[in-house]
């Protein structure tokens, strides 16, 4: 997602105020059973979420919101170079000496020590397997002939732990690679214009790959009820959570 100047200023002020907060504004943690034990997911803000399992912590797109009080990350996954996904100060705050940072090549250019994972590649780190899925715009961009997210620059991720498969889509439209996904247990799907999808487009994508559970995230300003309504009558459980709690 790319902000104009006024939006950037607003985001910086928001980040500053959040950094002064006494407690993190994270959402309520939610547990998932896996063959390797419980995996806990905590919504952070906008595109950020935290996974905890097997005594390890994975932060995904730590950029917006407060990270005060959270444990240091064993893994950091970054989807894209835009400021609502990549924040060098926040990365520095949540990492430790042994933290493994995973991202596409575009991210590695600005985040030293990044383990590069290109679209279609898979790496295993102990009990975690991480697969990079393309994320890109099909038609939407800031000007004719330009896209907000070009194919190959960013990554969505399928994260597998104890047989549980979680898909974090990143900034994307309803692309063929998403529609072709199989055996996804939990999905995090964006829906905000003009950068990703409408709620209806997001629902159409979800209907194609049929995750068991779907969370709208990266949705600021979108009608989540429209997304939920579009998936009524399917076997897909829609979980609406506040990714913008303060």
Please name every residue paired with 238 in a beta bridge, in sequence order, or none if there are none: 214
Percent of the chain with pLDDT over 70: 89
How many angstroms separate the CA atoms of 155 and 136, rounded? 9
Angle at 30 between CA 24 and CA 35, to 5 degrees: 130
Range of lowest pLDDT (24-28, 94-98, 142-146, 206-210): 24-28
Q: Tell me the CATH number of domain 5-238, given options 2.40.128.20, 3.40.1190.20, 3.60.15.10, 3.40.50.10470.
A: 3.60.15.10
Residue 142 has pLDDT above 60, yes or no: yes
Take residue 172 and report the two structure tokens written for it. Answer: 């994307």
Predicted confidence at residue 83, as pLDDT, reads 87
Predicted confidence at residue 27, as pLDDT, reads 82
How many angstroms separate the CA atoms of 73 and 130, rounded? 16
pTM over 0.85: yes
How many angstroms separate the CA atoms of 116 and 1, rounded? 21
Predicted confidence at residue 79, as pLDDT, reads 97
Interstrand relation of 30-34 and 37-43 (parallel, antiparallel or unpaired): antiparallel
Q: What is the mean pLDDT of the chain?
A: 90
Could you give the dihedral angle defined by the CA atoms of residues 119, 3, 27 and 158, in that order, rounded to the nearest 10 degrees? -10
User: What's the farthest any 2 CA atoms get from each other in the chain?
Assistant: 49
Q: Is 98 exposed, middle or buried (0-12, 13-18, 19+ CB in 10 A)?
A: exposed
* pLDDT tens column, 46-95: 999 999 999 999 999 999 988 998 999 999 999 999 988 999 999 999 99
Angle at 44 between CA 103 and CA 230, to 5 degrees: 90
Predicted confidence at residue 26, as pLDDT, reads 60
* pLDDT tens column, 152-162: 999 999 999 99
Backbone Cα Rg of the chain: 17
> Residue 217: pLDDT band by 50, 70, 90 thresholds?
very high
Predicted confidence at residue 246, as pLDDT, reads 58
């Amino acid at each position: 997602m790319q902000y104009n100047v006024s939006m950037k200023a607003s985001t910086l002020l928001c980040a500053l105020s959040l950094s002064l907060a006494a407690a993190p504004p994270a959402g309520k943690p939610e547990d998932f059973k896996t063959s390797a034990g419980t995996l806990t997911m905590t919504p952070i803000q906008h595109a950020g979420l935290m996974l905890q399992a097997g005594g390890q912590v994975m932060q995904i797109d730590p950029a917006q919101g407060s990270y005060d009080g959270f444990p240091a990350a064993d893994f950091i996954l970054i989807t894209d170079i835009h400021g609502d996904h990549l924040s060098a100060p926040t990365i520095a705050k949540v990492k430790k000496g042994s933290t493994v940072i995973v991202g596409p090549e575009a991210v590695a250019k600005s985040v030293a020590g990044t383990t590069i994972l290109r679209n279609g590649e898979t790496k295993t780190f102990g009990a975690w397997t991480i697969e990079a899925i393309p994320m890109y715009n099909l038609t939407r961009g800031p000007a004719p002939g330009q896209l907000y997210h070009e194919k190959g620059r960013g990554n969505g991720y399928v994260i597998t732990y104890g047989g549980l498969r979680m898909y974090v889509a990143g900034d994307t439209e309803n692309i063929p690679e998403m529609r072709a996904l199989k055996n996804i247990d939990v999905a995090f799907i964006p829906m905000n214009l003009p950068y990703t999808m409408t709620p209806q487009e997001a629902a159409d994508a979800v209907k194609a790959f049929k995750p068991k559970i779907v969370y709208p995230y990266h949705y600021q300003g979108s009608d989540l009820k429209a997304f939920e309504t579009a998936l009524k009558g399917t076997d897909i459980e829609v979980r609406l959570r506040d990714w913008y709690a303060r």
